[in-house]
Amino acid sequence: MSEVRTDKALSMLSANPKQTALLLDVDGTLAPIVNNPVDASVPVEVRTTLIELGRRFGLVACISGRQADEARRIVGAGGLTYIGGHGSERLLPGATEPEVDNALAPWSERVNAVAAAAARDLSALGIRREDKGAVAALHYRGVADEDQAAEALELVAARASADGLAIHWGRKVLELRPPVPFNKGIAVTELIEGGSFETVLYAGDDRTDLDSFDALDSLLESGKLKQVLKLGVLSSEAPPEIGRASDLVVTGTDGVAEFLGRLLAVSDK
């Protein structure tokens, strides 16, 4: 991480905190990747930093592929905004229930029925199902034979696609989705256009975060934003596109924690 570029980025973000939005992916960005998704958590010191940043900046939002309330559990900070299900849910500070996109809700039962059947049929391979509301995930990270599991899930993906569902491959996970347009980028656009922001940081580590990068580029080009910082989180599993599309890169969740800690320090001055 270039110190000169980092210092410039921190100065840009802290110049006018109340008109700056901090948008952060969760898994692989704030929370270290773990074999079993239910074990993921944000370190206490990062959680404390996020809470303090939330008091200083116009918006701090966590953007996740998980359900919004699950993302909030992992982060552990109730005063932030959470976008879950890759943009299909929004959970505002203090709210007890997320707002769900009305176009996606009717598909939830069908998506999860297909995922449940696949998880049952492939249970011997160790594949784990995760319910994300209108999205269902089939994880194979850490199973005995990941190649065999991925091959089996290719067949699941083909059947789901033939049945009218949309599919998305992540890092050692297959997601089944409704055939309705939604992604993190659409959610980010709605968040920013619904507020009064000049500067936005987005930090992410996976292909789904590239949609957010593209959305922010569009908002910048249209004049709706004055400044954007795309922070790429690099790791052995991060797609190379993340590094190429970023304005600044850090290494892993520790790099994100350091960057946010420094941002908090300069915003106190």
Q: Residues with catalytic annotation?
A: 25
Q: How many other C-beta atoms are found inside a 10 Å radius of the C-beta of residue 51?
A: 16
Q: How many other C-beta atoms are found inside a 10 Å radius of the C-beta of residue 25?
A: 25
Q: Give the residues across from 59 on adjacent strands.
A: 21
Strand pairing category for 166-170 and 135-139: unpaired
Among positive and negative, which fits the CA dihedral 262, 195, 69, 136? negative
Q: Which helix (H) or strand (E) holds 166?
A: strand 166-170
Distance, in Å, from the CA atom of 75 to the CA atom of 68, rounded to the nearest integer, reads: 11
Residue 6: φ, ψ to 5°? -65, -45
* End-to-end Cα spacing for the chain: 23
Distances, alpha carbon 79 to alpha carbons 53, 76, 91, in Å: 11, 9, 10
